[in-house]
Structure 1
Amino acid sequence: MSELAERFETHDPGEKQVAEKIRCDACPVMCYIADGRTGACDRYGNVGGRIVRMDPLTILDHATEAGGAVVPFVAEGEEWDGELVNTGRRFVTAIGAGTTYPDYKPAPFIVSQEVEGVDLVTVVTEGIFSYCGVKVKIDTDRHIGPETATVRAGGEAIGHVTTGEYGSQMLSLGGVHHLTGGSKTEGRATCDALLNLCNRKPVELTIDGGAVVIVEAGKPPVIDGKLEQRMRVGCGSATIGMFATQWRGLVDEVVVVDDHITGVVSEHQAGKVLGWQDTGIKIVGRRSTPGRYFKVSEPGLGWGGTSISDPLSILGEWNAKKGARPGLSLLMVSTTGEQFAYYELDDALKPVQKPFPERLQKSVGLIEDNCEPALCTVLFVGGAGGSLRAGVTENPVNLTRSVQGLTTYVTVGGAPVYVWPGGGITLMVDVTRVPQDAFGYVPTPALVAPIEFTLRRDDYIRLGGYEAEIRSVDDILAKGGEYLNPRRGTAAPASNPWPPLAQLRRAAGNGAK
């Protein structure tokens, strides 16, 4: 972003305008932009003396039975004649639409469309989000850093490690304090990392006291240079429960090594139900319930998310009085099936590693088969505040109440969102369901995200919406908008259902007439 700073100038109110440059009022930076150049955000440019939104307006076509797709409404380099390739059901997204800044004016597009007898209105705007961040789910058992450890991008603090989930490590990144509450360098680094993550680009993150992780939405994580292949099938105890029958009669003892709960089949309830004999095994760790052990090791990058490379290090002395005997067979395996080894007790009751027997290959393969591919999930989280809501209605709290009451359906670039309960409109969306490169930024710094509000037309009017600004899809295609660039089209994948007729009919009480 520092390189972009060389391409624009800003002026305080009352200062003389630079010759041959025009002022963009799409965000608080208020760049003066020369013809043929873009502003600091790369989103708006001066095209022949007119401020134009450089990215094309994205329109989803939902005519297909498969759930819809985004189609180009003009081929690259051609004039736009106002017609879509497919003239079925269309959804005008906020991608490329422009913002409401300086907030008092209506949203760039307020679109009317009748679908299956329901007269709908969709309010379309690109929101400027200072209060935003991402939640990152990293499918791995490997230890990436202690809880609350600082996460850095380019050496700057941009978030922290938060509480882990089943088979995944979690990060909380961004937020207003990192974007605007620290140094300018911290704010820029945070904004840059969030933008790339939301636009599904790889970002290298360094965790204090932990690993270096490369995160890319929808792709496997790279942890300390190693590509993660799969997430665990379950904890050690769960693995015992799922696959105990696969080992019955083939091996005397099974230990599933796991940082969370290490399982021992002979002691586990699953083993007892199957009639498993005691083996005299001893696990170095804190016993929780029979066959389930906590804290067998510190977390790390080894077996089952532990720090160990030798699984025998979690075993104590075998007890002959409780079933240990020479020749007793032992399978030790991790929760992903990536690590496994076979042992037999010698005359001194010491486990000796032996070639892995063919009879156990199937069971280890079954663990691997039941492990899902390890992926990174990036959820954009943003709070839609008063200024954004003012572009929908003159009384912004009405929009909040409408969203909370499920009268208004919220999407981000056409993708469904989860709206948090409680006050305000705090939403969360999976970025892989949003068309590619849908997010932008302003150098204040803040992220820019598309947001759409869909509701019945009569509900929108009761909301105190801008009735005079409602336009049809055909009118928008024919005439464009204040900043719309009508010469470019786009194509991107999307499979999100629209419109939410069932929800809107339920909200109406007695259905559409």
Structure 2
Amino acid sequence: MTEHTKVDHSTDNLDEILPVTAGPTVLERSKPRSANMASNKVECNACPVLCQITEGRTGACDRWGNVDGVLTRLDPVVFMRRLPEESTDVPGQEYALQETDTGDELFVSGVASGTTYPDYKPAPFIVSSKLDGVDMVTVVTEGIFSYCSFKIKIDTDRYLGPEQANIRHKGEIVGHVTTAEYGSQMLSLGGVHHLTGGSKKEGRITCDVMMALGNKEAVELTIDGGAQLVVQAGKAPIVDGVEEKRMRVGCGSAAIGIFAKQWFGHTDEVVVVDDHITGVLTEHQAGKCLDMKSSGIKMKGRKSTPGRYFQVANPGNGWGGTDISDPLAIIEGFDPEVAWPGLRLLITSTTGEHAEYFELDDTLTPQRKPIPEPLQKTVDRIGENCEPSLASVLFLGGAGGSLRAGVTENPIWLTNSIKKALVNVTCGGAPAYIWAGGGITVMVDVLRMPDNSFGYVPTPAIVAPIEFSMTREDYERLGGHMADVLPIQEVLKQAKYRVINWVDPSSPWPLGQKPVLG
């Protein structure tokens, strides 16, 4: 990422990235040239940096350039094509418009659309189209987000680091560990305090990390007092150099309940090791319901309800997300008044990646034995029920009043219309969850968005696509910029664009879906 402002950013291949269809994406004269600015420059007002750009070059963000004295958005705006039923076309692949295409099968995304900044003007595209005979309007823009972050869900029971621990990239703090969820560890990266509240280097590196994550690239992270990670949306996370394979089937107690009947008759005791809740079959209610005889096992840790133990070991990268490599380390022994020689004991982890079988000798000491075939089948079934370990990346951002001004002269009407489910909000066409409460706080899965949806401005801030879709009647009612509405067929004639197939066929078509409200 470039680190400069108000500089000429040379691009030798500028001619190659100029419009391949009629007209530039956004054609906008800069404000009057200041007295101390050279005659061959334009001042870009697409963000607060105000780069002065020489003809044939780009600004610091590489998104805007000086084309024949005109400030121009260089990348083609992304149109998304609704796939016909039973289509075999590849999602996300480039598509060449045919003569039979009417334009109503297209959705104008905010990707590369341009921005409303400095916010006195309507959105770059306000597009009318039809859906099943209904007149629709979509307002399209690239939002400049300082108040934004990425929430990372990592499917693993490995210990990544203490809650609230700092997360670093290239030595700079870019986020923190947040509360773990069932079967997953959670990270929060970015945010306004890292972007603008620290040093310039911290802000720049935070912006680097955020843009890479949003654009589905791999990012290396280090957690203070914890693990080193490689995280990429939709890919298995790499923890301390080891690629994760499985997300646990459940906690130790849940695993006991799920597989108790399958263990019954093949073993006398089962311990499922888990950093959260370690389960013991004969003490668990599932074992009681099966009328299993007590084994007399004595567990370390803090006993919760029957058959459930907390804190049997410290968190770590061993069995069940603990720090143990020997499963007998969490067993204190067996009650000689209850246990018996020959007692059969299976110990397994919540993913089935670790499992060992023991039988008690005459001194009630566990002796390792090969796992019997019926028990091996149950261990394999635990693994079969574990989903693949993935990293999920969700963008979370607040759409401020300035962005809303590009939709309507009275921004509160837009907010109220969203809350009333009259306006659907998407990001790059992907369904966005709207948080409850004031404002427009959106959250979206980046895997559902087109590739390279995110950009930046060197203030620094993240640039992300956002679209507002509604009926034409509702748009007029909320005080929309009706004079700037263009039929989608006219936009196709004027704009530099590219068309891709709908990225995520499982997502509803933006013009037909209802808002996902908090």
TM over 0.5: yes
CA distance 1:308–1:395, shift in 2 (3 Å) = same
User: Residues of 1 paired with 2:510 and 2:327: CA distance?
Assistant: 54
When normalised by structure 2's length, the TM-score is 0.90
What is residue 148 of structure 2 aligned with on the other side? 132
Match of 2:391 in 1: 376
The superposition leaves residues 124-158 of structure 1 with CA deviations (integer Å, 9 ceiling, x where unpaired) of 00000011001100000000000000111111111
Amino acid at match of 1:46: N
Contact 2:256 2:280 in 1 (8 A): yes
Q: Which residue of the partner structure matches residue 494 of structure 1?
A: 504
Bigger shift: residues 353-362 or 290-299: 353-362
What residue is the counterpart of 2:324 in the other structure?
308
Asked if the contact 2:430/2:510 (under 8 Å) is kept, the reply is no
1:465-476 equivalences in 2 (<5 Å): 465-476=480-491
Are 2:52 and 1:35 equivalent residues in the alignment?
A: no
CA gap 1:55/1:502 in 2 versus in 1, 3 angstroms: closer
Aligned to 1:194: 210
Q: Is the 8 A contact 2:131 2:511 kept in 1?
A: no
Q: Per the alignment, do residues 83 and 252 of structure 1 end up closer, same or farther by CA in structure 2, a change over 3 Å counting? A: same
Does the residue aligned with 1:239 lie in a helix, a strand or coil?
helix
What does residue 161 of structure 2 align with?
Answer: 145
Change (3 A) 1:491 1:62: closer
Aligned counterpart, 2:18? none
Q: Contact conserved, 1:267 with 1:291, CA < 8 A, in 2?
A: yes
Work out the CA distance in 2 between the residues paired with 1:203 and 1:272. 48
Amino acid at match of 1:161: V
Structure 1, unmatched stretches of 5+, are 75-80, 508-513
What runs of 5+ residues in structure 2 fail to find an aligned partner?
A: 11-30
Measure how far apart 1:422 and its partner are.
0.5
- Aligned pairs for 1:279-298 within 5 A: 279-298=295-314
CA distance in 2, matches of 1:460, 1:144: 47
State yes or no: 1:98 paired with 2:109: no
Indicate conservation of the 8 Å contact 1:61/1:71, yes or no: no
Cα shift readout 1:420-440 (whole Å, capped 9, x = no counterpart)? 010000000000000110110
Matches within 5 A, 1:159-174: 159-174=175-190
**Aligned counterpart, 2:473:** 458
Equivalent residue for 1:77? none
Secondary structure at the residue paired with 2:60? coil
Q: Distance in 1 between matches of 2:280 and 2:59?
A: 62
In 2, Cα distance between the equivalents of 1:387 and 1:190? 23
- Contact 2:83/2:502 (CA < 8 Å) preserved in 1? no
Query: SS of the residue aligned with 2:180?
Result: strand
* Counterpart Cα distance in 2 of 1:259 and 1:286: 12
Shift of 1:14: 4.2
Q: Is 2:414 the partner of 1:399?
A: yes
Equivalent pair of 2:160/2:226 in contact (CA under 8 Å) = yes
> Does residue 123 of the first structure (1) align with residue 143 of the second (2)?
no
Aligned-pair distance for 1:34? 2.9
Alignment-derived partner of residue 459 in structure 2? 444
3-state SS in 2 of match to 1:429: strand
Distance 1:471 1:103 in 2: 20
| Structure-2 separation of matches of 1:71 and 1:321 | 69
Identify the residue that residue 216 of structure 1 maps to in structure 2: 232
> Which residue does 2:220 correspond to in 1?
204
* SS of equivalent to 2:298: coil
Inter-partner Cα distance in structure 1 for 2:167 and 2:448:
25
Instruction: Say yes or no: does 1:345 pair with 2:360.
Output: yes
Q: Which residue of 2 aligns with 1:360?
A: 375
1:256 alignment partner in structure 2: 272
AA partner of residue 453 (structure 2):
A
For these two proteins, the number of residue pairs brought into alignment is: 492
Match of 1:55 in 2: 75
Decide which of 431, 435, 440 is 1:420's aligned counterpart: 435
Which residue does 2:45 correspond to in 1? 25
Shift of 1:52: 2.5
Q: Is the 8 A contact 2:470 2:511 kept in 1?
A: no
Alpha-carbon distance change, 91 to 346 in structure 1, aligned in 2, over 3 angstroms = same
Structure 1 pair 217/400, CA: closer, same or farther in 2 (3 Å)? Answer: same
1:180 alignment partner in structure 2: 196
Q: C-alpha separation between the residues in 2 aligned to 1:375 and 1:502?
A: 27
Distance 1:107 1:336 in 2: 50
Amino acid at match of 1:497: P
Aligned partners of 1:471, 1:26: CA distance in 2, in Å?
22
Q: Percent identity?
A: 58
After alignment, is 308-317 or 17-26 more displaced? 17-26
- Partner deviation per Cα, 1:298-338 (whole Å, 9 max, x = no partner): 1111100001111101001211212x111111110000000
Structure 2 counterpart of 1:78: none
Secondary structure of the 1:186 match is: helix
Which amino acid in 2 is paired with 1:144?
A: L
Give the deviation of 1:346 after TM superposition: 1.2
Indicate how the Cα distance of structure 1 residues 143 and 12 shifts in structure 2: closer, same or farther if over 3 A, else same: farther
Of residues 254, 258, 264 in structure 2, which corresponds to 1:242?
258
Asked if 2 retains the 8 angstrom alpha-carbon contact of 1:83 and 1:477, the reply is no
- Go from structure 1 to structure 2 and tell me whether the alpha carbon gap of 1:383 and 1:13 turns closer, same or farther (over 3 Å shift): farther
Output the CA distance in 2 between the equivalents of 1:95 and 1:317. 62
C-alpha distance 19-278 of structure 1, shift in aligned 2 (>3 A): same
Query: 3-state DSSP class of the match of 1:289?
Result: coil
- Aligned pair in 2 of structure 1 residues 17, 314: CA closer, same or farther (>3 Å)? same
- State the Cα distance separating 1:493 from its structure 2 match: 2.9
Q: Which amino acid aligns with 2:319?
A: W
Partner Cα separation in structure 2 for residue 442 and residue 492 of structure 1: 27
2:277 and 2:210 mapped to 1: Cα distance? 34
C-alpha separation in 2, matches of 1:195 and 1:109: 24
- 1: CA distance, partners of 2:404 / 2:196: 22
Deviation of residue 27 (structure 1)? 1.2
**Pairwise CA distance, 1:32:** 2.0
Partner of 2:21: none
What is the CA distance between 1:71 and its match in structure 2? Answer: 5.9
